[in-house]
């Protein structure tokens, strides 16, 4: 299937859209201010050693000195011996003024500086490279019965120092199904990256940044380009030149597909990408047939409900349901990619009476999920007619990245009615009248609640005032949400 990648770049934000057959399938967003330092490699300089805390402050060119604990110092001992013997005191391993190759493992928070390690690791698409070790391993998340065979394959590809290889590698979960060619390309990329870091460390002064974790632009070439990718279009001349240089050195085949977009219309207008982003942030997804999906994302799982809506075009009701579910199978697979929904997902297709219809819908759904670059697994229909599936979490969902909880409903998605809030206020005044004896009660609430007290609920408010023997005044506060209120004792 033909695929195009569109890149919209601005100094504050990079946005990437993957388009297949004219429809947007994936969106990736990275904001400059939100890019952390984790993964960056610096040539630091020991500013101060603190034996009492078994730590040291390292100057890496940032506003605040970074923090290095003795437990994060790389040891040249074999892996088994490291756990048997306690580490040497930090004052016997580093000294003030010493240049030190370090990597950020935790971003600065508040007044605390970044946390560092001298154990360097470089992440690739399929592998993690540990240049100071010779251990070859496999992610614990890969099933145990597959690990040893994958490890032996990787050992054969990595080689030994005698054959020009060496260094430690760990196979990541998304490398489980990778071919030998893909793994070899990742090994070559990681070794070339390490060679550049070492060359920069020998040339640059202490406090220099030697390696930065790849930006979204660079990850496009490393992670997102496939054999189906026809073009990679970017709308910034400066970033096009930088990406072209990066691609020629590390991913020459991907770099050949790079194009500078020179059109007058914004690049995302070519396929209505901004409109698709707005739709992907909503609960309701319209289907062409007149049916629709309702997508609800919760803490534990995501639910997708399929509804027929106004679709009545088929010959009979069973056929209507079948066609709606088939269309929904396409739309759901696309929405999972577009919204980057991960974890447990429950799909409630419309109930189908015929078993062959259920089988066809499930087969089509699995076929569409198979086009997803993220690992998915879908079960069959449960006794309740639900399809349970999982999709690997790789990054934050689009909604979590672009949105925040509503300040009024705190993310609940609904508010108590003005009348419910008014009755809560009346009950609270009655409770307080039993404990306190103020001169007057003043209700400070949203305009809608105050208006209700002045109109429909004025009789109950007056009755409560007579019952407790105290006047009750009202104050409208437009800045308050509908559920917010204060009862002031005067």
Task: Check residue 144 and give its pLDDT.
Answer: 83
> 445: domain range?
418-489
Q: Which of 318, 344, 373 is the last residue of a domain?
A: 373
Strand spans (E) along 309-461:
343-348, 376-381, 387-391, 441-445
* CA torsion, ordered 208, 117, 183, 373, to nearest 10 deg: -90
Counting every residue written for the chain, the total comes to 490
Domain with residue 29: its CATH number is 3.30.420.60
What is the Cα 14 distance to its own chain's centre? 15
- Are 287 and 253 within one domain? no
Average pLDDT, the chain: 87
Question: For residue range 89-131, what is the model confidence (pLDDT) as tens digits?
Answer: 989 999 999 999 999 988 887 778 889 999 999 988 889 999 9
H or E segment to which residue 151 belongs: helix 144-158
- Are 287 and 269 within one domain? no
Question: HSE on the CB side for 340, CA within 13 Å?
Answer: 17
- Are 363 and 298 within one domain? yes
Listed in sequence order, the residues at least 6 apart from 112 whose beta carbon sits closer than 8 Å to its beta carbon are: 64, 67
Task: Check residue 165 and give its pLDDT.
Answer: 64
Stronger pLDDT, 198 or 140, i.e. the higher one: 198
Q: Are strands 343-348 and 301-307 parallel, antiparallel or unpaired?
A: parallel
Scan for tokens 């003795």, then name that residue.
70
Q: Which of 229, 246, 273 is the last residue of a domain?
A: 273
Which residues pair with residue 50 across a beta bridge? Answer: 55
For residue 77, tell me if it sits in a domain: no
Q: Using CA atoms, how far apart are residues 390 and 375, in angstroms rounded to an integer?
A: 8
pLDDT average, residue stretch 441-451: 93
* pLDDT bracket for residue 295 (50, 70, 90): very high
- Are 439 and 361 within one domain? no
CA–CA distance from 343 to each of 133, 318, 396, 403 (Å)? 33, 32, 11, 19
* pLDDT bracket for residue 84 (50, 70, 90): low
Its pTM surpasses 0.85: no
pLDDT at 314 > cutoff 70 = no
- Are 256 and 327 within one domain? no
Share above pLDDT 70 across residues of the chain, in percent, rounded to a whole number: 95
- Are 369 and 427 within one domain? no
- Are 259 and 337 within one domain? no
Question: HSE on the CB side for 255, CA within 13 Å?
Answer: 15
Task: Check residue 449 and give its pLDDT.
Answer: 93
Task: Check residue 201 and give its pLDDT.
Answer: 93
Q: Using CA atoms, how far apart are residues 190 and 124, in angstroms rounded to an integer?
A: 7
* pLDDT bracket for residue 405 (50, 70, 90): confident
- Are 360 and 422 within one domain? no
For residue 483, tell me if it sits in a domain: yes
Specify whether the CB–CB gap between 8 and 14 falls below 8 A. Answer: yes
Task: Check residue 57 and give its pLDDT.
Answer: 94
Q: Of the candidates 272, 315, 309, which has an alpha carbon nearest to the alpha carbon of residue 289?
A: 309
For residue 83, tell me if it sits in a domain: no
- Are 224 and 248 within one domain? yes
* pLDDT bracket for residue 374 (50, 70, 90): confident
Q: Using CA atoms, how far apart are residues 114 and 123, in angstroms rounded to an integer?
A: 19
Q: Which two tokens stand for residue 439?
A: 């001169």
Q: Of the candidates 87, 97, 104, 100, which has an alpha carbon nearest to the alpha carbon of residue 49?
A: 97
For residue 325, tell me if it sits in a domain: yes
* pLDDT bracket for residue 161 (50, 70, 90): low
Q: Using CA atoms, how far apart are residues 131 and 161, in angstroms rounded to an integer?
A: 12
Domain total for the chain?
3
- Are 365 and 288 within one domain? yes
For residue 177, tell me if it sits in a domain: no
- Are 342 and 367 within one domain? yes
Share above pLDDT 90 across residues of the chain, in percent, rounded to a whole number: 44
Task: Check residue 14 and give its pLDDT.
Answer: 93
Q: Are strands 208-211 and 229-234 parallel, antiparallel or unpaired?
A: unpaired
- Are 291 and 263 within one domain? no
* pLDDT bracket for residue 76 (50, 70, 90): low
For residue 133, tell me if it sits in a domain: no
Scan for tokens 């967003």, then name that residue.
29
Which residues pair with residue 13 across a beta bridge? Answer: 10, 31
pLDDT at 18 > cutoff 90 = yes
Listed in sequence order, the residues at least 6 apart from 400 whose beta carbon sits closer than 8 Å to its beta carbon are: none
pLDDT at 371 > cutoff 70 = yes
Specify whether the CB–CB gap between 42 and 21 falls below 8 A. Answer: no
pLDDT at 412 > cutoff 80 = no
For residue 306, tell me if it sits in a domain: yes
For residue 51, tell me if it sits in a domain: no
Other beta carbons within 10 angstroms of residue 119's beta carbon come to 16
CA–CA distance from 250 to each of 181, 184, 196, 467 (Å)? 15, 13, 12, 81
Task: Check residue 9 and give its pLDDT.
Answer: 93
Q: Which of 244, 273, 302 is the last residue of a domain?
A: 273
Task: Check residue 388 and give its pLDDT.
Answer: 94
CA–CA distance from 484 to each of 408, 443, 479 (Å)? 8, 11, 10
Task: Check residue 326 and give its pLDDT.
Answer: 93
């Amino acid at each position: 299937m033909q695929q195009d990648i569109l890149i919209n770049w601005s100094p504050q934000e990079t946005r990437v859209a993957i388009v297949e057959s004219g429809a947007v399938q994936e969106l990736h967003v990275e904001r400059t201010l939100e890019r952390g330092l984790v993964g960056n490699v610096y040539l630091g300089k020991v500013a101060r050693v603190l034996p009492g805390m078994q730590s040291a402050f390292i100057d890496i060119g940032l506003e605040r000195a970074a923090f290095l604990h003795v437990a994060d110092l790389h040891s040249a001992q074999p892996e088994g011996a490291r756990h048997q013997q306690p580490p040497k005191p930090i004052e016997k391993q580093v000294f003030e003024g010493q240049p030190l190759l370090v990597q950020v493992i935790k971003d600065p928070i508040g007044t605390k500086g970044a946390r560092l390690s001298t154990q360097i690791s470089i992440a690739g698409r399929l592998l993690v490279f540990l240049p100071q070790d010779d251990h070859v391993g496999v992610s614990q998340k890969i099933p145990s019965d597959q690990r040893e065979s994958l490890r032996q394959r990787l050992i054969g590809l990595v080689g030994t120092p005698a054959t020009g290889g060496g260094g430690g590698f760990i196979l990541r979960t998304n490398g489980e199904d990778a071919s030998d060619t893909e793994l070899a390309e990742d090994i070559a990329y990681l070794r070339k990256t390490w060679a550049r870091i070492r060359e920069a460390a020998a040339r640059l002064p202490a406090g220099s940044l030697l390696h930065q974790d790849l930006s979204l632009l660079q990850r496009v070439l490393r992670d997102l380009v496939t054999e189906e990718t026809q073009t990679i279009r970017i709308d910034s001349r400066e970033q096009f030149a930088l990406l072209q240089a990066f691609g020629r050195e590390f991913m020459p085949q991907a770099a050949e597909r790079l194009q500078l977009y020179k059109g007058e219309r914004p690049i995302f207008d070519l396929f209505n990408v901004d409109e698709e982003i707005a739709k992907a942030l909503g609960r309701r997804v319209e289907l062409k047939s007149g049916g629709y999906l309702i997508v609800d994302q919760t803490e534990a799982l995501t639910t997708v409900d399929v509804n027929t809506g106004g679709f009545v075009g088929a010959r009979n009701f069973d056929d209507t349901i079948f066609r709606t579910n088939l269309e929904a199978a396409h739309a759901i697979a696309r929405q999972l990619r577009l919204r980057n929904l991960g974890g447990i997902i429950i799909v409630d297709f419309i109930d189908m009476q015929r078993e062959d219809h259920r089988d066809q819908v499930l087969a089509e759904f699995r076929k569409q999920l198979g086009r997803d670059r993220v690992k998915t697994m879908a079960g069959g229909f449960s006794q309740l007619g639900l399809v349970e599936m999982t999709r690997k979490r790789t990054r934050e969902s689009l909604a979590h990245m672009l949105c925040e909880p509503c300040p009024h409903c705190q993310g609940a998605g609904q508010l108590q009615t003005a009348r419910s809030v008014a009755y809560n206020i009346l009950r609270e005044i009655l409770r307080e009248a039993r404990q306190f004896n103020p001169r007057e009660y003043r209700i400070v609430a949203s305009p809608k609640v105050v208006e209700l007290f002045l109109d429909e609920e004025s009789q109950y408010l007056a009755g409560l005032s007579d019952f407790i023997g105290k006047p009750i005044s009202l104050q409208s506060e437009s800045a308050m949400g509908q559920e917010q209120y204060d009862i002031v004792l005067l």
